[in-house]
Amino acid sequence: MWGVFDERRPIYRQIAEQIKNDVLRGVLHADEQIMSTNQYAAFYRINPATAAKAFQQLVDEGLLYKRRGVGMFVSPGAQQTLRAERRKRFFTDVVRPMVAEAQTIGIPLADIVDHIQQPTDATGEAR
């Protein structure tokens, strides 16, 4: 299933990101068991070692934990941890550069807030 994965980034990172997104969206919950390495590998037709590497990354980040002989589970607090990380990244990567650009071209912060608060249609254009 190579079409599922982006060839530009390592597959294990994409798997880890997919699991993180599932936790953030509430598809996976705290203490819920996730697919085993072998199930994941069979489902996506990848090497089990690739899936294992993704799972280990998530364990190292404290987002998954292992129950010996049972499997991998979502850590309690994983969703909150991910939300806090994404929120910080959003402000650093999106908001700060946007505000800096607005200041450079003379857009007052109040105008940005007004624009954000305007209702938009399906295309994202202000109504």
Residue pair 86/24 in contact (Cβ under 8 Å)? The answer is yes
| pLDDT of the residue at 106 | 95
| pLDDT of the residue at 17 | 94
Q: Whose structure tokens read 């085993």?
A: 36
Residue pair 9/48 in contact (Cβ under 8 Å)? The answer is no
Domain boundaries, the chain: 2-76, 79-117
| pLDDT of the residue at 2 | 43
The burial class, CB within 10 Å (0-12 / 13-18 / 19+), for 59 is middle
| pLDDT of the residue at 1 | 40
| pLDDT of the residue at 3 | 52
Q: Which two tokens stand for residue 106?
A: 């003379």
CATH code reported for the domain at 2-76: 1.10.10.10
Strand, helix or coil at 126?
Answer: strand
- Mean pLDDT by runs of 10 across the 127 residues of the chain is 72 94 96 94 92 96 95 97 96 94 93 86 65
